[in-house]
Structure 1
Amino acid sequence: MLLLTEINGQNCPMEDERPLSSALVIEPFQGERYPEMPTLTFIFSLCFSLSTAFYFHAGEREEKCIIEDIPSDTLVTGTFRIQQWDTRRHDFLESAPGLGMFVTVTTYNDEVLLSKLYGPQGTFYFTSHSPGEHIICLESNSTRLVSFGGSKLRIHLEIRVGQHDLDAAAAQAKDKVNEVSFKLERLIEQIEQIVKEQNYQRDREENFRMTSEDTNSNVLWWAFAQTLIFIAIGIFQMKHLKDFFIAKKLV
């Protein structure tokens, strides 16, 4: 298995879609957390960004996974679109007719939050129940065998964390909100998400501080125990030498 890790911390704005490979480097993965995951794993951190768009390539029978670090009680929205490689045109088609996409979302506690088959393009939603890393896996439902040369796919993916799709048309129809209030709702929602992210990072910092203090305390006690052991060994050796000299009548 290979693990893809991010080498720069730049965020991708919502309208700036770019190849995922431009921000990642491949290196061996020695972990045993998910031995059944047969393909490549993408690690992609949002770094407090609310929306990230990118694309990547995959085989028709290849599973690709993204790991997102998400606070608790946060709505995550993902939008994807598949393009299929045309061997005659040597270019990607606008869509992938006949193909669908399995989307699976799990936590590191093996809790399945979403497992559903979509069409060649679609939108999925899930809500995090606990803070931490969430694994988003995508795999096409192609029945073509890899050994017979299944074509490659280009998968466009946009991940939005903490954003709700507000229906502006319905709001205007009900005459409850206007354009200004709609933008204000969006702004308030983003502020709440930023506060939630800050609280999550504050909790992580507190856990790290407690772990550091425990480690320093253990090191101090271990040094104290070593000192006592050395003193005891020294006293024992001096007593042993004294008894030896007395037995040999040297003193």
Structure 2
Amino acid sequence: MSLDRRIHFFLCLTFWISLVLGHMIDVKAAQKECFFEDLHVNDKMTVTYQVGAGGHLDIDFWLGDPLDVAIQKDFKSSTGTVSITAETDGRYTYCFSNEMSTLQDKVVSFNVHGVIYVPDDGTIAPIEREVRDLAVGLQAVKDEQEYIVIRERRHRDTAESTNARVVWWSIFQAVILFCVCGWQIYYLQSFFEVKRNY
């Protein structure tokens, strides 16, 4: 591999790595959060998102091209993956909308990753192709791990909430039991006292 090819390979890899982003945001009730990426023709971008907390764990998602024409719309989704290949140069916008909720804030975790298009004119080495394929596979594994972490957090919160409810219900039952026992003792005692008076 010549020096020019090595430099070209490492520049492409650096650009690809720079397109990988992971975020966790709070989307306030009745609000919308928007982000953008500047893409060129044939660049690829994938947005993976999941609602981690708030309300019914749903969010509206919108992805639009540079002319603000909707490419993808998801309504009340708790998780989703959207992949596009840019057909024109420009700024592609994606938004998470919580406008349907007037009370509940939502926590959204999302990843954005992409591949900058480099025309394959036969000069790309097979090892570079393999590295690109491995990078795409590694990103898919990373997305899946983040999805699992968020689900585990959600299940743990549900288990802790259920545990707290069981504890309070048990305390309530114990208080009711003591009250009923106290009332029965008092009633029986008063019953026998009344019998003695006759």
TM-score category, normalised to shorter length: 0.3 to 0.5
TM superposition score normalised by structure 1: 0.38
TM superposition score normalised by structure 2: 0.47
Query: Larger % of helix: which?
Result: 2
Q: Greater RCO between the two (CA within 8 Å, min separation 6)?
A: 2
